A and B are shown apart, each in its own frame.
Chain A
Amino acid sequence: MEHSHTARVSIGAKPRSRWSLTRKLVPYAYLSPTILLLIVLSLIPIATVFVYSLLDNVIITRNPPSFIGLGNYVEIFFDNHFRQALTNTLVFSGVSVLAHLLLGLSFALLLNSKLIGAVPKALFRVIYILPWVFTASIIAILWRLLLNPNGVVNFLLITLGLANDQIEWLSSRQLALPAVTFINIWSGYPFYMVSFLAGLQGISDDLYEAGKIDGANSGQLFRYITLPQLKPIIISLAMLDFIWTTHQFTLIWMTTGGGPTRTTEMLSTFTYKLAFSSNEFAQASATAMIILAISMFVAVFYVRNQRLAND
């Protein structure tokens, strides 16, 4: 067995040009399933959406498609519902990212504290990660149970004297957007917490020792050592999370469906309804391209930040 391998290698080495051509193809051979999948299921589809977005009458129509250039984009841009979905998405994502950062960092600092024993720490860590174990559709129905007008959240608020009446969290025009944002904050902070914990454990104790010798208090140690050391993680987490939150569909779809009266409509639910409820595939393609553009805009900064961090 071993011998035959050796023989094949030495025979193959003789006709030098053919050998080197084969060698050149080897990396592509290993990558061929990946390349095939990427071409068929991402590059071609993205090209397709782009073309759709420039047409009128695509997929489910009686008339043949016609080229209308940027017509769909112009129409979408002057559509108030689209602009509301865009604003909602930016508010929902911006507030979520900020709250995730604050909660994730606070919990990571608490869990990293030297004042607590290892066993309670491990226990708290498991509890803190719990929200992350649940999938978005389960989180959606769990919070529909908790935030139900007759539910336990209202009971607690009324008992504590913080509310007078049962609050319709998810069906109130004023409260629905804050409520879904809160649910998203609850479900998303563990990702940050875990990354910050890993980051905190990577900061050398020497830095803190040196700081203490220079007479720094714990606030100063945090500001001048912890925060700068975590900065690359903070930036990449915030960008990744912003991209993912602008894609959030399930949570909205299963809590409010974008309502009441579009107050929680996001770009994702707006696009989905345009395509699969109204059959306006051309316009939906235009909004889909806009979401893609927003994501790619942030992703470019993400990649640049990663390159800087790795060099």
Chain B
Amino acid sequence: MTKATTHSAGKGIATSLTVVGLVLGALFAGLPVLWLFAASFKSNTRIFAYPPQLIDDSFSLAAYSTVLTNPEQLRYFFNSYLVSILVTLFTLLVGILAGYSFSRYDFRFKNLLNLIIIGVQSVPPITLMIPYFGLIVTLGLYNSYWALILTYMVFTLPYAIIMMTGYFNTLPRELDEAVMIDGGSSFTILWRVLVPISLPGIVSVGVYTFMLAWNEFLFALTLTKTNDMRTVPIGIQLLMGQHSFEWNQMMAMSVLGSLPVLLLFLLFQRYFIAGMSAGSIKG
């Protein structure tokens, strides 16, 4: 046997091992998700049928139509969309202004503020929960959208600021000077020049922010009270709390509740991944 053939045989073994590894990993990651989809099409009595079948003869869209015709559950979706979209818009607005300031100006307390912003990212939500309850009641915001929007921003904003500062730092200052020479103000530099060029960065921050807001649970649980103010994650828990488990409805609601993030992910995969990995690589 020549050296070349052992080499290619080794390569063949390596390739098959890689494929086996990839398939095993895909089963680990994908099977539970597949089961979630499958269960959402079953009738509730067949959820734990023996032996389990991926698709059985009870296949129907009944669970979906129950969820989508129930005004209470539709309201959860409306609330989740409204809160997440507003949190994303406000976070981007405030984060872009702050990122611009950090990137283009030198001022006292810059390092301190920067440190506080990084630190806030590591503050446990449960620590803030205790004073928030009193604070939100005092501000008259208990059981309102603003209670959620403002408290969510505490966790979405630091990431947005750090990312936007980093993004603006990569843009040459000559751009600013060119606008200055044309007589533009610092505000013109930001909105007319930097923001349009930074669109990819803004999209990845926006997508990530939306996801954080869409997934939030603890604040929504504690700062809202009535069913008409609840969001999807809490709505799923409420379905679970009722006397019998409507598994197929819970799974249908889970699929519907995951759709926005799944769609954002598939549409903006590159931005998503950039936003996800940048946090750990650049900091």
A: residues with CB less than 8 A from B are 2-3, 5-6, 9, 24, 26-28, 30-31, 33-35, 37-38, 40-46, 48-49, 52, 59, 106-107, 110-111, 113, 115-116, 120, 124, 126-131, 133-138, 141-143, 145-146, 148, 150-152, 155, 186, 190-191, 194-195, 197-199, 233, 236-237, 240, 243, 246-247, 249-250, 253-254, 267-268, 271-272, 275-276, 281, 284-285, 288-289, 291-292, 295-296, 298-299, 302-303, 306, 309-310
Q: A124-B26, A247-B124 are contacts. A275–B129 as well, Cβ < 8 Å? A: yes
Q: Does B196 have its Cβ within 8 Å of any Cβ on chain A?
A: no
Is there an interface contact between B186 and A26, defined as CB atoms closer than 8 Å?
yes
User: Which one of B102, B131, B254 has the greatest number of beta carbons of chain A within 10 Å?
Assistant: B131
B: residues with CB less than 8 A from A are 11, 14-15, 18-19, 21-22, 25-26, 28-30, 32-33, 35-36, 39, 47-48, 50-52, 93-95, 97-98, 100-102, 105-107, 110, 113, 115-135, 150-151, 153-154, 157, 161, 182-186, 188, 214-215, 217-218, 222, 232-234, 236-237, 240, 247, 250-251, 254, 257-258, 261-262, 265-266, 269, 273-274, 276-277, 279-283
For A31, give its contact among B113, B130, B134 (CB under 8 Å): B113
A146 to chain B, nearest CB (A): 6
Measured between beta carbons, the chain B residues less than 8 angstroms from A272 are: 126, 129, 218
Nearest neighbor of B125 in chain A, beta-carbon distance: A247
27 pairs, CB–CB < 8 Å, chain A vs chain B: A26-B186, A27-B106, A31-B97, A31-B113, A37-B153, A48-B135, A59-B133, A113-B18, A126-B266, A126-B269, A127-B26, A133-B258, A134-B261, A137-B217, A142-B36, A146-B32, A155-B50, A190-B29, A197-B273, A249-B217, A249-B218, A250-B233, A272-B129, A272-B218, A288-B129, A291-B126, A292-B127
Nearest neighbor of B276 in chain A, beta-carbon distance: A194
Measured between beta carbons, the chain B residues less than 8 angstroms from A292 are: 123-124, 127
Measured between beta carbons, the chain A residues less than 8 angstroms from B21 are: 106, 110
Is there an interface contact between B50 and A150, defined as CB atoms closer than 8 Å?
yes
Nearest neighbor of B118 in chain A, beta-carbon distance: A303
Is there an interface contact between A198 and B281, defined as CB atoms closer than 8 Å?
yes
Is there an interface contact between A198 and B130, defined as CB atoms closer than 8 Å?
no
Is there an interface contact between B273 and A138, defined as CB atoms closer than 8 Å?
no
Measured between beta carbons, the chain B residues less than 8 angstroms from A126 are: 266, 269
